[in-house]
Amino acid sequence: MGAANNIIWTYFETDGEIMSDDELLTLEEVARRLHVHVETVRRYIKQKKLTAIRLSNTNLRVRESELDRFLKERETGGDTKPDEGL
């Protein structure tokens, strides 16, 4: 990977306070992290399950914090309701 893949993007809360330094991930990087095909990542974006940033007509990026949010929403464990019949 070249240096161009290590873009850091800082975003601000409305009061001007820095909230996070976020790496912008390519769709291929997101797919690798999720262990899915890149077309699955594109489908998640189209279905608005995952938010992407459009840098150009053909260039999309996903914030690392957005990927973290996506994964957290899909975690199973203590927050899920048990099946009533079990």
Pick from 73, 52, 75, 77: nearest CA to 63: 52
Quote the Cα angle for 45-30-77, to 5°: 85
Helix, strand, coil shares of the chain, percent, nearest 5, are: 35, 25, 40
Residue listed under structure tokens 């009533």? 84
What's the predicted TM-score (pTM) here? 0.66
pLDDT digits (tens, 9 = 90+) for 14-64: 344 444 578 999 999 999 999 999 999 999 999 999 999 999 999 999 999
User: Which pLDDT does position 77 carry in this prediction?
Assistant: 73
User: Which pLDDT does position 20 carry in this prediction?
Assistant: 55
**Token representation of residue 15:** 């009061």
Domain ranges of the chain: 24-73
Quote the Cα angle for 20-72-7, to 5°: 35
